[in-house]
Amino acid sequence: MLRTPLVLITLAFLGCSHRPGGGDAGPESDAGADAGTDGGVNAGRDAGLRQSLAHAHNDYRHVRPLLDALEQGFTSVEADVFLRDGGIIVSHDAKDIAGELGALYLQPLAERVQATGSVYGDGGVFYLWIDLKESTQALQDALAARLSQESDLTTFEDDGGVTLRPVTVILTGNGVAKKALVARPGPRPFIRDDVLAVGDPPADNRWGYYAISYLNRIGWDGKGTIPEADRNILQGLIEAAHRTGRKIRIYDSPDTVPYWTVAQELGLDFINADDLAGLSAFLAQP
């Protein structure tokens, strides 16, 4: 594992340039994303997806949570969580339960890391976004305890140091809960996101990402040509995030080729998709 002061990583990130069909690792990592194969996905296609940081929105709603995303070469997935009967369940509303966080995500990822050294066996970082659907102290304590059992998660120190590991957990969702969790003493096996606002401080090892609603900012439906005003808004969001040294994910965005094309061109860090196969096919194109 590599332990690096976050300020150096942030400066390196700000110096990175985006390439068509590609993106850099998160602000806590300079790990590369080279070719590799998994689940029958050919090497070139798989490498392209991992470089672009394709993100599976509400991943647990797919037929095979996590596994469908891995088969398509995604490097980022999202799981919504509640605490019920002492267990951390994955569900959007605590009614239609997909399973338990450990069984659906933590254990399968740990098994892959144990087998090949990283999720795809290439040394790259995989991102697990945990969406906290409630603010209770009980959920915070249970999640912190459960994640502390995992040895393959990137950890963040109070002095700004970061120990890079194969899986980075990003806390999203309830603001009270995620801010309280990252305020705990280090080493912490998670970092958080937030919304974008004027005057945000530079990225640090507690807050390193943004998650922004497409529907709240942009009116384009993802068909045809993006209006200039909407393109400028999208570009402005990405550039503002990058000026702070943070990565940005925009959710509830269109599952369309025109939108994915613009997102790539503008250097959006995490390309959001519910249509895994669709984004996979798009990113497979030369």
DSSP class per residue in 54-110 = EEETTGGGSSSTTHHHHHTT-SEEEEEEEEETTEEEE-SSSSS--EEHIIIIIHHHH
CA 175, distance to chain mean position in Å, is 17
Look up residue 255 and give its two tokens.
């599952």
CA 234 centroid distance within chain: 19
Mean pLDDT over all residues of the chain?
85
Q: What is the model's pLDDT at position 248?
A: 96
Please state the separation of Cα 76 from the chain's center in Å. 5
Backbone angles phi, psi at 155, to 5 degrees: -120, 150
Over residues 259-267, mean pLDDT: 94
Taking only the tens place, the pLDDT of each residue in 79-113 is 999 999 999 999 988 888 999 999 999 999 999 99
Strands (E) across 125-188 are located at 126-132, 155-156, 161-164, 167-173
- 101: β partners: none
Q: So what's the pLDDT on residue 227?
A: 98
Which of 46 and 251 is assigned the larger pLDDT? 251
Residue 219: both structure tokens together: 């009116």
Average pLDDT over residues 14-26: 31
Percent share of the chain, pLDDT over 70: 82
2-208 classified as CATH 3.20.20: yes
Query: Residue 285: which pLDDT band, with cuts at 50, 70 and 90?
Result: confident
Q: 214-240 pLDDT, tens per residue?
A: 999 999 999 999 999 999 999 999 999
State the pLDDT at residue 225. Answer: 98
Residue 10 has pLDDT above 90, yes or no: no
Q: List the one residue out of 203, 168, 158 whose CA is nearest residue 14.
A: 203
Per-residue model confidence (pLDDT) at position 2: 45
Contact call for residues 122 and 50 (beta carbons, < 8 A): yes
Single-letter amino acid, residue 42: N
* pLDDT value at 149 more than 70: yes
The pLDDT, as a whole number, for residue 158 is 93
**Position 49 pLDDT exceeds 60:** no
Q: What is the pLDDT of residue 32?
A: 31
The pLDDT value recorded for residue 28 is: 53
Per-residue pLDDT averaged across 45-56, rounded? Answer: 62
Q: Six-digit token pair at 104?
A: 């659906």
Q: Is the pLDDT of residue 187 over 70?
A: yes
